[in-house]
Amino acid sequence: MERLQKYLARCGVASRRKAEVLISEGHVSVNGTIITEMGFKVSDGDSVLVDGKSIEVKEHVYYVLNKPRGVISTSSDEKNRKSVISILPDEINSYRVFPVGRLDCDTKGVLLLTNDGDFMNMLVGPKSNIEKEYLARVDGIFPKELIGKVIKGFKVDDYVTRPAKLYIEEYDKKNNSSLVRLIINEGKNHQVKKMLDTLGYPVKRLTRIRFGSVTIDGLKEGEVRELTVHEIKTLYGLASSNNFK
Ligand code: URA
């Protein structure tokens, strides 16, 4: 048994607050009777209609957000900073989505969101080997001699990084900085910043431009879109075929 407004929110009809308005205004019927009472409970076999139309139960949803800088990807934080959840449209929040892994507050770019816990664990669990691609603006002129170290793996804190790829995209000699593209297939805390810092080239700005096969191409900062069925299947495929031994 579940409260009617919660059921409507879970089915993706509206946020819980909007579902309460729909109920109080008499738009919702259960087994042929209009229900305006808020505590009313429904169970799976009940016929729930909104404005006479049956609702489709959408259990799992998958989105990609082009996360802006300055918002956190955890739901709460002691410094009271804005969270990604607070910038999502109500309709998406009604599915109770959460971010797949984390991006730092000052990192922008691809952030997957879902309400499918198994999917999330598969993508960010310790065995996951899915590629994440970053563009990092670093302090200093990054020497190509260090690329071999990234390819082989090197010690950062108390672990050795998995083999990764690094391409030097451009040098800005005037401002003494470089733009590097780093592709890693693990996701330890602050990993990209720590890797580049350990090499002696601290990150000034970081953007994640790809997670597996999903990019933010065509999405403005703060915009979100549903993943296509093809993207979801590809991520499932990458997660199950690529487990790191
Ligand atoms: N690595 C980092 O250091 N920060 C991020 O936000 C993502 C990867």
> What are the pLDDT digits (tens) for 9-65?
777 677 777 889 999 999 999 999 999 999 899 987 889 999 999 886 667 999 999
Mutation choice for ligand 1 from 69, 107, 112, 185, CB with most ligand atoms inside 8 A: 107
pLDDT digits (tens, 9 = 90+) for 130-156: 999 999 999 999 999 999 999 999 999
pLDDT band at 79 (very low <50, low <70, confident <90, very high): confident
Distance between CA atoms of 234 and 99, rounded to whole angstroms?
Answer: 18
Whether the CA torsion 222, 212, 9, 70 is positive or negative: it is negative
* Domain coordinates in residue numbering, the chain: 2-54, 62-127+213-243, 132-211
What amino acid is encoded at 164 in this protein?
A
The answer to whether the CB of 67 falls within 8 A of the CB of 73 is yes
Classified by CATH at the fold level, domain 2-54 comes out as 3.10.290
Atom of ligand 1 nearest to the CA of 102: 6
Q: Of 44, 90, 104, 217, which is the active-site residue?
A: 104
For domain 132-211, the question of CATH label 3.40.630.10 is answered with: no
The CA 189 to ligand 1 mean position distance, Å, reads 7
User: Which residue in 117, 76, 80 sits closest to 96, CA to CA?
Assistant: 117
Atom of ligand 1 nearest to the CA of 104: 6
> Would residue 43 be called left, alpha or beta, if left means φ above 0 and alpha means ψ between -120 and 50 degrees?
beta
Domains 2-54 and 132-211 share a fold: no
104 belongs to the catalytic site: yes
The CA 74 to ligand 1 mean position distance, Å, reads 14
* Any ligand 1 atom below 6 A from CB of 97: no
For domain 62-127+213-243, the question of CATH label 3.30.70.580 is answered with: yes
- At residue 75, the pLDDT reads 66
Distance between CA atoms of 48 and 1, rounded to whole angstroms?
Answer: 13
